[in-house]
Chain A
Amino acid sequence: MLAMDQGVVEEWLSEFKTLPDSAISTYAASLKDKGSLIPALYKVIRENYSDLLEPVCHQLFEFYRSGVPQLQRFTLQFLPELLWSLLSVSAARDPHTSGCIEALLLGIYNLEIVDKDGQSKILSFTIPSLSKPTVYHEPSAIGSMALTEGALADHGLRRVVYSGPHLQRENFTAQNRFEVLTFLLLCYNAALSYMTPTSLQSLCQLSSRVSICGYPRQQMRRYKGISTRLTVTSEFLVQLITGIHYALSNGEVDLGSKALDDVLYRAQLELFPEALLVGNAIKSSLHSAALKSNNKEGARSIQVEITPTASRISRNAVTSLSIRGHRWKRHDAVDLGSPDELMDISEVDEGVWPGAAGHDMTPPTITISNSTTTLNLGAKAMKKCRLGGRSSKDKESGPLTTGRAASENAELSVKRLTLTSSQSVPRAGALTSLTRTASAVFSRSFEHVASSNPAPTSNHAASEAGRYSCSLQEEGMGYLSPTPNHTQRSPSISIPLGSDL
């Protein structure tokens, strides 16, 4: 260590001690201007045996204990370096244990796990729910949600604890080491925006080293420190990944992506699902990020572009929404009750329906639909539309779709059952050709239905329902043994057609 660095550190040590309480906030603000201090402090921490280490650790703890945010962040920026120092010493089973670093880290931990009144601190957050209005949405606009166990159980905001309460710790043991370190990283991550590039780099290095030491990859990275394997926990890796994610998007691309790779490598070897999950997600989101970050300049900036607002999905593709709307119409038509009830079913699959019914009819002309417009207004609006009369087109299409939809419904519910029991493994094989023709016809005819603002008036409902049940059987049979003359067997389709034309 150079004499100059030593001088800087010693000056820093003595300056704070003589500081009157009133001057602390100005002092805190001025810290960042001391250019050579921070590198010198890094050196002190890295050289484990320096005489200065103990007073430095002590002063860093004083900073943290002062409660002044800037001073606390000043201490926090050294956290990755301190962690590495601690871990490498304990792994090397060095007799010169770095007692003062341990004391500093435990000190911060014990300060952070309690609140102002000395009660155990519990970190919690609210899981938002789409079923409650928020500043960004109205529940009615979202439509119904999938009826999962969770959704059914908590129809509201839910407050969950993600860390704490923690026990006070007097010393590090193999058992509590990672518990304490994970919590410290959580504190560090909460202040990530205030960390200097050097600190982020140090975090990335820490992550790489913790992950690869003692493994074959160590040679690849040419790291020549300790070569014993360090035990880690999955939660610790997840916290490291959180920090790496920030570093990656804020200038530390090279070190960050290396660190992410190394942590993932270790998570694979340890078979840690949590770390793999989050790490994979970050890797994949970097490829297809919604934002482009301006990485080249190493600047902490995020770039966005003007994106086209029109939907990029073509209108005649069958989507969850279009298929959902389709069902609404049908269920309203037969007055089965709330359209939402069957939403879950309708989302499961595209409509594979017995293809025969529509084949020998001329497909109705397609006006590029406003289907989505009307559908989006929701079931309520659609009921209103219905009062406004019907076009000649719906008369031919109404019953047709009713019949078809019914069979689809039967078919789908069967499908759904099999799907859930077989873990939703999609099968490509035999059904594809049928599916293709079927869905092509289906989507087109659906388009038509939707575009003509249809649906029978209420006094039609009864007869509709009759047809509904009858065609359900017919179509069901048709599916089991498809015959070319199928439509002739289905009076529910031809009769209303004739009357209208």
Chain B
Amino acid sequence: MTARKSGSRLETEIERCRSEGQWDKIPELVRQLSAKLISNDDLGELLLGESKLQMYLKENPIKQGSSPRGPRQKLVEVRKHLTAALDRGNLKADYLQEASLLMAKICYIEGEYKDALGHYNRVSLEDMQLAGAPVYRLSMIAEAYATKGLCLEKVPASSPSLSNKNSGSPLTNRTPAEREQEIITCYEKSGDIALLYLQEAEKALSAGIQNRSPKPGPTAQDLELGYFLETGLQRAHVIHFKNGNLTQGVGRFREILRAVETRTTQNLRMTIARQLAEILLRGMCEQSYWSPLEDPPTVSPLDNPTQQGHTYSKNYTLSRRPRVYSGENLFCPQENTEEALLLLLISESMANRDAVLSRIPEHNNDRIISLQSASVVYDLLTIALGRRGQYEMLSECLERAMKFAFEEFHLWYQLALSLMAAGKSARAVKVLKECIRLKPDDPTIPLLAVKLCIGPLHWLDEGEKFGKMVIEMGEKAAEFRAKGYLAIGLVYSLKATDASLRSTQEEYQRKALGAFQRAQSLSPTDHLAAFYLALQLAVSRQIPEALGYVRQALQLQGDDVHSLHLLALLLSAQKHYHDALNIIEMALSEYPENFNLLYTKVKLEAMCRGPEEALLTCKHMLQIWKSFYNLTNPSDSGRGSSLLDRAIADRRQLNAMTLPDFSDPDTGSVHATSIAASRVEQALSEVASSLQSSAPKHGPLHPWMTLAQIWLHAAEVYIGMSKPAEATACTQEAANLFPTSHNVLYMRGQIAELRGNTDDAKRWYEEALSINPTHVKTMQRLGLILHQLQRYSLSEKVLRDAVQVNSTAHDVWNCLGEVLQAQGNAAAATECFLTALELEASSPILPFTIIPRAL
């Protein structure tokens, strides 16, 4: 810097250094200044004093809550500079004020609070102009207000020096409330001016970068706030909250957050946003909320009624205020969860930006800090979104947390749970695997995984693995051990249903039974264990034993719908149809909208009370369906709104179906091939269902599936009444929804048979089988037709296949016997008839497997 600067340029340079806090450059600039004009000496003193004071504070920062320091050697020099500047009285008024403010600051540092207050009174802080003030002066004024607040807090209220006559201080004879009011006003003013200063400084800085001369100027440092500005920005709300004055505290938080952010306030904003979000979530409710642009309520339950006397009312205006976010169509939250969510999303984006990615040991601490601040945000997000059931969005947010998640169990687990709640089962299982790795001793995690494997995913092998994990934990799993056995029993039970070889089937049934017995003995008070044991016994046609356990289950849980349903089916297997119907009706009084129960009711009514009653029930079902799904949400809740999300969610719902394959005895819905078949239905019907934007969110069944089933049930009743026209009409309704469903095709075949049109019937049955090759009912009818057509060996083949798929279908055995008889194989035929007879004696009105099996 050889070239001497012209006067004005020099002054600009000094102003810039003061604004940007580059105190180390001041002495050199002062040297140039004094060389110019002798009258600049006083200003020089002021500048030197200031820069030395600031350097001192930089080297010895004041900590929050630290005690005063007393006189300091280094400060003596500063005081000398300032006294020199003040004494001669040659300074301009502005500079005189600045020198006084600096003096007051020294007084504060040295613990001379009353002196500091005296200085502030002399310069009449309130009158200092904000408009047109250079940037650095805004910072000085903000600091001065903060320091004044600090001094007022330190000085006892009744201090005699405050009634000093020549100070003319308005502090005399004040009530504590008035004093408090003044203190808070000081801090709030300080905070507002500090925000203004930071905005102006940043503006100047970016302008400076653009206009800077081509020489490589020193790059500007980050502005640092320092003790005084930090206090000024935050002390006001700290006091509000300490006084139990939540409305004012929240109001102050919002004022700070609404000011346009600057680089320096980013961290403060993040902290405050998080704190405000937390207050909104755990200290407020919908009724006590007021929006940021509204005036706070005058009486609020949020303010602590026990701490009277802390009534603060904001009563100042500043000539310049910090810029706030403005513009058209600004989103302003109208509800506490909305505001919390907005704040958390902002915090999240900041926390994410600060995610420390490097894993070298030196950055361990940084990583922990960034992880902690992010976890708080994610936990609060979970609380806010969970409360509103927005799991889809939550899972996306938590997915973004994964950059913090290396070896962090909590984040992984929360992600897994959110995926599960959002219905993203496959991903959830994968994440749960990682959770198991991180915390191998927790039995809940593998159990959650089994739940998904058994339910929506139908991943039975995986499920078996997870179930075994729980069992292998042994005693450690404590109360979850029984649950583990229950889980693995369900896996085996479902595998048994899926198996196509009789021996495998029996093997799995045996294993399932063993597991359920174990679960039941480990947890005799769990109705689920008793219930599934009963169900498994029922499936293996041990009817009396099953009845014993289902009664036990009902004793433990009297209104369990599945136990009641099973009881009814068991009674129907014993041919006590009237008792069964009574049970169903009783169950329906508690579960009037349960379609599964209603299907059984239709069957039983047709049996006991004639088809008219059954038709009435079908009509009733249609009414329920309508009232249920007509009321669907206008905007899709609970799921993502994007088309993609919706498609995924729909597919998930459809896959989740464990709906009874109603006309198919004993081959429950979960048979592997019937799943494949229903997938075809789904794929083909997806177009149809996506047209209806508002699919109901609850209920395990897709509503359209339910509707089709109701129609098919009605059709079946009409077939029983030999009314082909009505049956056709009902089938057509179902066909409109699922034109390629094997159930629809099967029903058409039956109608054709009823009309005596064997060829058509055969064609329909063949089509049904081409969609679902293991549909036993169809196979049985087809076998029968082939028998009538005297194609015995083909008929025998079809029927033997059917028996292979489901060995408990008594009518298939019966048909097989007839075919064998027609072929002249009397011995084998007899055996078939005997089997059929035996099975018929224990056959329920609908297969036991229509009862869903889930954990």
Residues of A within 8 A of B (CB): 69, 93, 120, 122, 124-130, 132-138, 141-143, 145-146, 148-154, 157-162, 164-165, 167, 173-175, 189-194, 214-216, 228-229, 231, 235, 238, 242, 245-246, 248-250, 268-269, 271, 273-274, 276-278, 280-282, 284-285, 288-291, 299-314, 317-321, 323-324, 347-350, 367, 370, 372-374, 376-377, 381, 384-385, 388-389, 391, 423-426, 432, 435-436, 439-440, 443, 451, 453
User: A-B pairs with the 10 shortest C-beta distances?
Assistant: A153-B642, A350-B357, A281-B382, A278-B386, A193-B288, A161-B637, A128-B342, A174-B590, A190-B286, A273-B420
Question: A304 touching B349 by the CB < 8 A rule?
Answer: no
Chain A contacts for B637, CB-based, 8 A: 124, 160-162
Chain B residue at minimum C-beta to C-beta distance from A149? B644
Q: Tell me the bound Cα distance from A306 to B631 in angstroms.
A: 51
CB contacts under 8 Å to A, within B273-329, are: 273-275, 278-279, 281-288, 292-293, 300-302, 304, 306, 324-325, 327, 329
When C-beta atoms are compared, the residue in chain A nearest to B564 turns out to be A174
Contact with A along B413-439 (1 / 0, CB 8 A): 110011011000001001100100000
Interface residue from A120, A152, A157, A350 paired with B642 (Cβ < 8 Å): A152
B74 at the interface (CB under 8 A from A): no
Find chain A residues with CB under 8 A from B90 CB. none
In the complex, the answer to whether B358 meets A314 with C-beta atoms within 8 Å is: no
**Could you tell me if B261 and A141 are in contact, using CB atoms closer than 8 angstroms?**
yes
A9 and B408 CA atoms in complex are apart in Å by 56
Whether the pair A391, B246 counts as a contact (CB closer than 8 A) is no
Which residue of chain B lies nearest to A161 when distances are taken between CB atoms in the complex? B637
Q: In chain A, what residue has the closest Cβ to B525? A: A214
A306–B335 CB distance below 8 A = no
Residues of B within 8 A of A432 (CB): 359
By the criterion CB–CB under 8 Å, are A290 and B274 in contact?
A: yes
Report whether B403 and A136 are in contact in the complex, using a CB–CB cutoff of 8 Å: no
CA distance A192 to B558 in the complex (A): 34
Q: A172: nearest residue on chain B (CB-CB)? A: B590
Chain B residue at minimal CB-CB distance from A132: B331
CA distance A277 to B417 in the complex (A): 6
Do the beta carbons of A136 and B343 come within 8 Å of each other? Answer: yes
Decide: B304 and A299 in contact? CB cutoff 8 A: yes
Please name all residues of chain B whose beta carbon is closer than 8 Å to the beta carbon of A453 when the two chains form the complex.
219
Q: B574 interface residue, CB < 8 Å from A?
A: no
- Report how far A290 CA is from B285 CA in the complex, Å: 19
In the complex, A14 Cα to B560 Cα: how many Å? 43
Rounded to whole angstroms, the CA-CA distance of A145 and B348 in the bound complex is 11
**How far apart sit A229 and B304, CA to CA, in the bound complex (Å)?**
40
- Contact between A242 and B330 (Cβ–Cβ < 8 Å)? no
How many Å lie between the Cα of A451 and that of B609 in the bound state? 88
Known contacts: A146-B400, A314-B363. The answer to whether A288 contacts B372 by CB under 8 A is yes
Verify A160–B221 contact, CB threshold 8 A.
no
In this complex, the member of B237, B279, B358 whose beta carbon has the largest number of chain A beta carbons within 10 angstroms is: B358
If the complex has contacts A128-B333, A149-B396, A310-B267, are A174 and B559 also in contact, measured as CB distance less than 8 A? yes
Distance in Å from the Cβ of A384 to the closest Cβ of chain B? 6
Residue contacts A-B, CB under 8 angstroms, 26 given? A126-B335, A126-B338, A136-B346, A150-B640, A151-B396, A153-B642, A162-B637, A173-B591, A193-B285, A193-B301, A238-B389, A250-B283, A271-B447, A274-B386, A274-B421, A277-B418, A290-B275, A291-B275, A301-B242, A308-B230, A311-B266, A311-B354, A314-B365, A347-B352, A349-B357, A377-B206
Cα-based distance from A429 to B700 in the complex (angstroms): 43
Query: Does B537 interact with chain A (Cβ within 8 Å)?
Result: no
Nearest CB on A from B624, distance (A): 11
Q: Shortest CB–CB separation between residue B310 and chain A, in angstroms?
A: 11
Chain B residue contacts of A246, Cβ below 8 A: 282-283, 285
**CB atoms of A373 and B332 under 8 A apart:** no
With A126-B338, A130-B345, A290-B274 as known contacts, state yes or no: A249 contacts B282, CB within 8 Å: yes
Q: Is B209 an interface residue (CB 8 A)?
A: yes
Assess the A423–B427 pair: CB atoms within 8 A.
Answer: yes
* Inter-chain contact B263/A373, CB cutoff 8 Å: yes
Q: A175-B593, A229-B527, A314-B363 are in contact. Are A162 and B389 (CB under 8 A)?
A: yes
Flag if A313 contacts B301 (CB, 8 Å). no
Closest to A314 in B: B366
Chain A residues with Cβ under 8 A from B685's Cβ? none
Cα–Cα distance between A275 and B285 once the two chains are bound (Å): 20
Provide the bound-state CA to CA distance between A370 and B220, in Å: 7
Contacts of A269 in B (CB 8 A): 479-480, 483
16 extra interface residue pairs, beta carbon distance < 8 Å, beyond A154-B641, A384-B209: A133-B330, A141-B261, A150-B393, A153-B640, A167-B631, A190-B287, A194-B285, A229-B527, A246-B285, A271-B447, A288-B372, A301-B242, A306-B230, A319-B356, A370-B220, A432-B359
Report yes or no: B279 in contact with A271, Cβ–Cβ below 8 A. no
Q: Point out the residues of chain A lying under 8 angstroms from B394, CB to CB.
A: 277
Asked whether, in the complex, the Cβ of B383 is within 8 Å of the Cβ of A321, the reply is: no
Q: Which one of A216, A249, A274 contacts B391 once the chains associate, using CB atoms below 8 Å?
A: A274
In the bound complex, residues from chain A placing their C-beta under 8 Å from that of B234 are: 304, 306-307
**Residue in B304, B341, B388, B396 whose CB lies within 8 Å of A162:** B388
Given contacts A93-B558, A149-B640, A384-B210, contact A302 B283 (CB under 8 A): yes
Q: Tell me, in angstroms, the Cα distance from A381 to B207 when the chains sit together.
A: 10
Shortest distance from the beta carbon of A133 to any chain B beta carbon, whole Å = 5
Known: A136-B258, A301-B241. A193 touches B302 (CB 8 A): yes
